[in-house]
Every structure is written in structure tokens, then in C-alpha cells.
Amino acid sequence: MQPMSSIQEEVSVRVTPLSARLAWAAAFERRIVAREHDLVEAVRVDLGKPAWETVTQDIMGLVTSLRWHRANAERILAPRRVGGAPWWMLGQKHWSYRLPVGRVMVIATWNYPLQLLGIQLAQSVVAGNHTVVKPSERAPRSQRILVELAREALADCGLPVDMVTSAEATREAGRDLLERERFDHVVFTGSTAVGREIAAACARTLTPTTLELSGRDSAFVLADADVALAARSIWFAVTMNAGQTCMAPRRALVEQGAYARFLDALRPLVAAAKPVRLADAGMADRCVELVRDAMRSGGSSLGGVVEQAERGVMRPLCVAGCARDAQLVAGDHFGPVLAVLPVANMADALAVHRDCGQHLATSVYTAQPDRVLGDPSLVAALGSNLVTINDTVLPTAHPGISIEGRGPSGWGASRGEAGLRALSREVTCSSTSARIRTPLDEPDARGKRWLRRLAFGGRDAVATPAAAPGGVHAPGRA
């Protein structure tokens, strides 16, 4: 038999102490802050993203998440005693441990290249896993630096640097890794189409996945809403990051009582919008064409003349009074474009909303938040993992909130407590006393009656039919 000291030595190599992993999170944060300028410049080169947007939308969110993990990971991952055992489990004690799943592959996305990859990487390492990052082909420089900083932070804490490695930033590299290597969990953020391919590839090896795919959601503006607040918040979400945000609304569904006032509040915001550059020039062209198609079917542009996109640069657009069957309303695009539709009431709005079938983050604007908070049936009908009231997108940046899509918006949790648990596995250990333990022998009739009274709340024992010769129960015999 292997000595206990030898077993403990091997375990300490496989499962790094949680304290060391939390020290890594602190070191990773320090290195990110120290290299802020380099990270901002790399994102600018990769995607053309303005510096302040990178600071507020990427770096700030990542740093906040690292601090949240340092404050909460021990509560989530530390061993705990499991209470509530039934009375007949004599002499038993139970503990729950959360251990690393093993080897995790993170297939990174590009639209928030530091925040999204950084949080998923942090959750994997804090959970104790060895992590392989496949950077996005659209953000290779910035994500390479991020991986380097993670590895340097491992060295700072005396942890094995190979706990984090990376592959080439190409589509082919991701496919090759999934075909050639074995992972214990795969995390992917991106389109539904690619998510289906990854799910199929992982299904062949029964590898669990977390798929954080896009939403095509709605913002509901009820008749009693503050329309100026709704217009500002919705338009900000539509245009942030050049409209390349999976949780941004694709349509605003406005009750008739607020419709004209909402358009009056939204119109100057649309007219003042400045051109933005999309990472995919073809998507910019598609957004403009969807707007023109919606206008041909009766919609009107709130910003006036619709200009053609030029090499990925376009002006954010909004079409009011869209036909409900317009492709723009369906929301299958990834750019700064919004459809606005009048609806009779909430039931009418839900019918339009549910037609798109892809929900991740839905917002509702109303002077009476309890109309939503106090109605679980309405929350369920929205179909989203994230529901924000009187705001859009921004509240979802809370580091303790998890994202968990359904259907075409993905599956599995990322971020927050649920995301951290998803990258660990539960192991339950029990210890039974050698002296006080549940008897294994069948008791006599008196003992059985006593046990039944204890187990079934004092009820009389249920008569058990006696078996007749040949295994046939004799009726009427107790």
C-alpha cells in the first residue's frame, strides 16, 4: 500500500492550494494594471477600438472580476461539511469538496478581447485547472499579451507556468486541438453557428462544454416608462463597442401610450451618432441593407438619409415603425442598428419578442418595477437569463452575475458563482465511526414496527402480504 505521506505529496502536485490560486489572481491584476497602456494599444491595433472604451469596457470589468474572485472563491470552493443527514445514518459525517475538472480549453472571442477571455481564464485558473487558450484570429496581439501576463503571474506565485498555455490564433488551430487533444471542459464564446460545430465535436468525446452564444433580445418600453431614460439607455447599449455586443437589444417594443414620446426622445440621439468601425466589413454592409429593407416595407429612418457603409465604417441606424416580419426585427445581425415597433400591450410585445427565439438579456422600462419583479410568470416568459429593469446591458457587468444561455443562445454558466462552479467538480467524502454505525442485519418484527414508526411519522405499519408457495402472494394474509 502506498504511504499516506506519498499520496499527499502527489495530491499537492495535482491540486494547487486555493490560497496560491488567489495570490495568482492578485498578481494577474497587478500585471494587467501595470501594462494598461500596452493592452489598450494592442486592442487598438487589433480592432480599432478607442482607448477609453478598452479601459472601461474591458480592463475595468476584468480587474473588478479578479477582485470579486479573491473575495468570494474561498466561500465557493472551500471544503464544507454537509449537514441534514437522516437519523438512520448513524455515526456518519459528510464533506463536499470542489476540485479542478482537469484540463480546460478556452476558445476566445474578439468583441471584448480582454474582459471575456480574462474572466474565463481567471475562473479556470482559480478553480485549479490547467488551461489552454485559443486566441481569436481577430484579436491576436491583445490576447497574446493577456496570456503572457497570466503566465508571468503564475511564476510570481511559484505556480507551474504551464498551468496556462496558448495555441495559434487561427480557426484551424481550434479545430486541430479539438480533434487531436483531450480536454475535460471546453469554453466557447461566439456565434451560434460555430457553437453548434463545437458542441458536435465535443459530443464525440463526451466533453462538457460551456457555450456563451449571442442573444437577439428586446427592450420593452411600457406606457408609464421614463421615455428619456429609456431612449438614452437603449441607444447607449445599441451603439457601445460599435454595436458588437451580444447582450445589446435588437429591437425596442414600445407600448402605444409611450411610442410618440419615445421616438421624440430617441430621434436626436440617433441624429447625433458618429460613424463607427465594425470588425467585420461584411456585417456593416449587412446592417445597412437590413435597414433599407425595413424602410422598403414601411419603416422610417430616425436619423435621416441612410449612407452606405465604407470598408466597415457605418453610422449607427434606427428604423421606426418596422413591419413585424422585417429581417431587421428578427435581429440576426451584429452591429449598431435598432428596430422600434409600437405594441398594444405587454402580451402583444411578448408575441414579437418570442418570435425571434434567441434570448440572453432582456430589459424592461417601467415606473413600476414590481410589475416585473413580482411576476415570476412574466420573467419566465421573457426567456432570458438576464433581465434588467430601467437599464440595459450595464447591470450585467456585475462580477457575481452569471451568464447562462438557453437553446440557440448557448448552455452552461460562465462568470459569477455558477461559472466558477462549472469549472470545478464536486467530490463528496464520508467518514463512518467504527463504533456507532447503522446495523446491517434485518431486525425482528418488533424492530421493524419501531423503525417504521420513526421513518413514516408514527403511522401504523403497512401490512405486507405473505408469500404463498411458488412465490404467489396469498391474499388476505399479513
Average pLDDT, integer, range 21-45: 98
Residue 229: pLDDT band (50, 70, 90) is very high
pLDDT at 9 over 80: no
For strands 424-432 and 337-343, give the pairing.
unpaired
The amino acid at 460: D
Contacts of 139 (CB under 8 A, 6+ apart): 43, 46, 47, 108, 110, 113, 169
pLDDT at position 275 is: 96
What mean pLDDT, rounded, does the chain reach? 92
**pLDDT (tens digit, 9 = 90+) per residue, 449-467?**
988 888 887 665 454 444 4
pLDDT at 12 over 50: no
Q: Which of 239, 334, 319, 329 is nearest to 284 (CA)?
A: 334
Alpha carbon distance 131, 105 (integer Å): 6
pLDDT at 182 over 50: yes
- How distant, in Å, are the alpha carbons of 69, 227, 385, 386, 399 from that of 404? 18, 30, 6, 8, 14
Q: What angle do CA 464, 465, 469 make, to 5 degrees?
A: 140
Q: Are 113 and 136 in contact (CB under 8 A)?
A: yes
pLDDT at 64 over 70: yes
The amino acid at 54: T
Fold of the domain built from segment(s) 217-357+361-395: Aldehyde Dehydrogenase; Chain A, domain 2 (3.40.309)
Q: Are 199 and 118 in contact (CB under 8 A)?
A: no
- Where do the domains of the chain lie? 11-213+416-427, 217-357+361-395
**pLDDT (tens digit, 9 = 90+) per residue, 140-152?**
999 999 999 999 9
The amino acid at 372: V
Alpha carbon distance 140, 124 (integer Å): 20
pLDDT at 10 over 60: no
Residue showing cell 451603439: 239
Helix (H) / strand (E) element for 318: namely strand 317-320
Cell (9 digits) for 362 = 432582456
pTM of the model: 0.89
How many helices and strands (H and E) does the chain possess?
A: 18, 20
pLDDT at 220 over 50: yes
Residue showing cell 465511526: 433
Alpha carbon distance 169, 150 (integer Å): 17
Alpha carbon distance 13, 355 (integer Å): 52
Average pLDDT, integer, range 380-395: 96
pLDDT at 14 over 80: no
**pLDDT (tens digit, 9 = 90+) per residue, 75-127?**
999 999 999 999 889 999 999 999 999 999 999 999 999 999 999 999 999 99
pLDDT at position 13 is: 40
Q: Are 397 and 69 in contact (CB under 8 A)?
A: no
Average pLDDT, integer, range 335-359: 96
190: helix, coil or strand?
strand
Residue 130: pLDDT band (50, 70, 90) is very high
For strands 185-190 and 209-213, give the pairing.
parallel
pLDDT at position 279 is: 95
pLDDT at position 474 is: 36
pLDDT at position 335 is: 97
Alpha carbon distance 401, 86 (integer Å): 34
Q: Are 359 and 406 in contact (CB under 8 A)?
A: yes
Beta strands per DSSP E along 264-360: 276-277, 300-301, 313-314, 317-320, 337-343
Q: Are 290 and 275 in contact (CB under 8 A)?
A: no
**pLDDT (tens digit, 9 = 90+) per residue, 274-297?**
999 999 999 999 999 999 999 999
Question: Picking from 60-69, 394-403, 462-471, which range would have the lowest pLDDT averaged per residue?
Answer: 462-471
pLDDT at 3 over 70: no
Average pLDDT, integer, range 390-394: 96
- How distant, in Å, are the alpha carbons of 70, 103, 121 from that of 423? 16, 10, 10
Q: Are 196 and 363 in contact (CB under 8 A)?
A: no
pLDDT at position 457 is: 79
Alpha carbon distance 216, 67 (integer Å): 31
409: helix, coil or strand?
helix
Q: Are 90 and 437 in contact (CB under 8 A)?
A: yes
Percent of the chain with pLDDT over 90: 87
Q: How far is CA 161 from the centre of its chain?
A: 27
**Helical ranges in 359-404 per DSSP H:** 370-373, 376-382
Cell (9 digits) for 306 = 441612410
pLDDT at position 265 is: 98
Determine whether domain 11-213+416-427 maps to CATH 3.40.605.10: yes
- How distant, in Å, are the alpha carbons of 51, 157, 247 from that of 217? 28, 42, 7
